[in-house]
C-alpha cells in the first residue's frame, strides 16, 4: 500500500512519547500499523527520547550481564525498547472496541461512535460518506485527526486514499469531496465540533451533530 499523507512530526513525536490522548493515539496508531515509514519515524523518535533521558542522568557503569546478548559494556551501546504498532488489518483493530449504530448527519454522511474514553474531550467515531458526495465548506472548533479506511476524498489541500492521514484545526477551511468509485469510510478523533461556513452553513449548523 502506497500512502501519501501522514501524521506530522509533532504528532508522531507525541505518539512515541506517549503524550497523545487515548483517542488520538488510537487513530494515529492504526495509521502507523499500515505505514512502514511512520513506524520507522516513531522508532527514531523513541530512540532520540531514550538517548536524551540517558544523557540527562548519571548512569552507573553496568556489568556485562546488564547488556543484551551481542552487546557489551565496552561498546556502551543499548538498543532502546521501541513500542511497535501491530501490523494487524484495521478491521481487527477496530474489532477491539464496540461500535455504536450509524446515525444520519445529512449531506450523504453517517457517523457511528467508537467506544473509547473521551479523554481530553476527544471523541472517536467512524464517518461514512456516499460516493460522489460533497461536504459543505467548514472548519473546526478544535482538532481533527482523520484516517481513511475505505474509498477516498479530496479537497483544496490534497487527495486522501486508504491509509492516508489528515490533521485539521480551526485554521484550516476545506470542503471534502468523496471519490465517485465508492463510499468513503474514515476513522476520526475529534475535539470540538465542525463549524460550517457561510450563510447556508449557519442555517444548517444546529442539525449537524459532528
Q: How far apart are CA 67 and CA 77, in angstroms?
A: 8
- Answer yes or no: are the C-beta atoms of 168 and 143 closer than 8 Å: yes
CATH class name, domain 92-207? mainly beta
Task: For residue 95, count other CB atoms closer than 10 A to its CB.
Answer: 11
Q: Per-residue pLDDT tens for 89-134?
A: 556 666 778 899 999 987 789 999 999 888 889 999 999 999 999 9
- Residue spans per domain, the chain: 9-88, 92-207
Equal fold, 9-88 vs 92-207: no
CA pair distance 135, 176, nearest whole angstrom = 6
Given this model, what pLDDT does residue 49 score?
75
Q: What is the pLDDT of residues 134-178, one digit of tens each?
A: 988 888 889 999 999 999 999 988 999 999 999 999 888 888 999
The secondary structure of residue 132, as a DSSP letter, is T
Distance of CA 121 to the CA centre of its chain: 16
CATH topology for 9-88 is: Arc Repressor Mutant, subunit A (1.10.10)
Separation CA 82–CA 68 (nearest Å): 15
Q: What is the pLDDT of residue 25?
A: 94
Q: pLDDT-based confidence at 209, cuts 50/70/90?
A: confident
Amino acid at each position: 500500500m502506497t500512502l501519501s499523507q501522514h501524521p506530522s512530526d509533532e504528532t508522531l513525536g507525541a505518539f512515541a512519547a506517549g503524550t497523545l490522548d487515548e483517542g488520538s493515539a488510537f487513530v494515529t496508531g492504526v495509521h502507523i500499523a499500515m505505514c512502514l515509514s511512520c513506524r520507522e519515524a516513531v522508532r527514531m523518535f523513541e530512540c532520540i527520547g531514550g538517548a536524551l533521558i540517558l544523557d540527562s542522568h548519571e548512569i552507573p557503569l553496568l556489568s556485562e550481564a546488564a547488556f543484551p546478548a551481542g552487546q557489551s559494556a565496552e561498546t556502551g551501546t543499548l538498543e532502546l525498547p521501541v513500542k511497535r504498532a501491530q501490523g494487524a488489518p484495521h478491521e481487527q483493530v477496530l474489532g477491539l472496541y464496540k461500535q455504536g449504530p450509524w446515525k444520519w448527519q445529512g449531506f450523504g454522511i453517517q457517523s457511528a461512535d467508537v467506544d473509547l474514553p473521551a479523554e481530553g474531550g476527544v471523541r472517536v467515531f467512524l464517518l461514512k460518506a456516499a460516493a460522489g458526495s460533497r461536504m459543505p465548506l467548514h472548519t473546526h472548533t478544535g482538532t481533527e485527526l482523520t484516517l481513511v479506511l475505505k474509498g477516498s476524498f479530496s479537497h483544496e489541500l490534497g487527495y486522501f486514499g486508504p491509509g492516508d492521514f489528515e490533521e485539521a484545526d480551526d485554521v484550516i477551511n476545506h470542503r471534502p469531496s468523496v471519490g465517485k468509485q465508492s463510499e468513503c469510510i474514515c476513522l476520526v478523533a475529534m475535539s470540538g465540533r465542525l463549524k460550517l461556513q457561510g450563510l447556508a452553513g449557519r442555517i444548517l449548523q444546529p442539525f449537524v451533530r459532528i
